[in-house]
Amino acid sequence: MKKGEYIVLFLFLFLIVLLLPFIVANSITGEVITGDATLDSVGMNITINPSLPTLTIFKPKNNTYFSNSSFALEFSSNADNSWYNLDNGSDISFNGSTTLDVSEGHHFLSIFVNNSEGIVNENISFYVNLSLYSIVYDEYKGGNKGSSTNFDYYSFEEVQELENTVLENTKFGKISFNEEINITSDINYSDYITNLDLNTNISFNRIEITNQGHGNRKSKTVSRTIIRLDEKYGRASGDRRGRYSVDHDHTASDHDTGSFIVV
């Protein structure tokens, strides 16, 4: 083979090498897929990793209590199981809210909840002092108490900033305080007692309250308000002996007197 022929052959092969990628790319063909689309189910497993349970304790609080009557234990949790022990005693299983049998003195409460992921624990330390303070409200504990506030449910700290306080006798009416009050701040704080039975009166033809029994608002005081119901005209006349005057329509649902609502 002559020299010139070698040169031509070399150039031809070199050209093929250069054009080969383009030839291969353009030579790939596909098939047209025809037919009807169909819907079918596909098996699938979804795994959600569980977490530790939640635990929020509402009662008791880290406070001092002046009553141990129906001592409440209230909490919220999404756990599978719950139990508690009082003063490092035996574990007691329970579901939802319950009551504790507590004596006077210091107490340490541990609450436990669990699920498959583990255990969550919260501790509460509280004190019961039965001579610390007394709230007398027997008139609002019986069968006619209606929505009357259960003062024994609250700690000493809580009754000094108590909201939505209600005194009710379902036969005759109720008084609802629409502002936060300090039930311990009566006219004689040194006696460590608030006597609501003595200083309030919800009875036939009469609703009465004085500042000796209901506790002062934070900056203002109701001295005395008497409401006498006039059965003949269905209205009440206000006997103003303090800060508030009252003109209460007995047929209406309530009447705002500035510090409390008379119903």
Taking only the tens place, the pLDDT of each residue in 118-156 is: 999 999 999 999 999 999 999 999 999 999 999 999 999
Domain ranges of the chain: 55-128, 134-262
Sign of CA dihedral 172, 203, 199, 156: negative
% of the chain beyond a pLDDT of 70? 64
Cα–Cα distance measured from residue 249 to residue 91, given in angstroms and rounded to the nearest whole number? 56
Choice between 194 and 222, residue whose per-residue pLDDT is larger: 194
SS3 158: helix
Alpha-carbon distances of 39 from 33, 36, 42, rounded to whole Å: 17, 10, 10
Q: Determine whether domain 55-128 maps to CATH 2.70.98.40.
A: no
Is residue 73's pLDDT more than 70?
Answer: yes
Mean pLDDT for the stretch of residues 68-83: 95
Cα–Cα distance measured from residue 41 to residue 39, given in angstroms and rounded to the nearest whole number? 7
| pTM summary value | 0.66
Q: Pairing state of beta strands 134-136 and 260-262?
A: unpaired
Q: Quick one: tokens of 62?
A: 């880290």
Read off the DSSP letter of residue 25.
H
SS3 63: coil
Q: Quick one: tokens of 35?
A: 């037919």
Helix (H) or strand (E) holding 75: strand 71-77
Q: 132 and 184 in contact (C-beta within 8 Å)?
A: no
Residue 102 burial (10 A CB sphere; 0-12, 13-18, 19+): middle
SS3 17: helix
Strand-by-strand arrangement of the 200-203 sheet? 200-203, 206-210, 224-230, 235-240
Alpha-carbon distances of 46 from 43, 49, rounded to whole Å: 10, 10
Is residue 226's pLDDT more than 60?
Answer: no
Average pLDDT over all residues of the chain: 78
**How big is the chain by its Cα radius of gyration, in Å?**
39
Helix (H) or strand (E) holding 112: strand 105-115
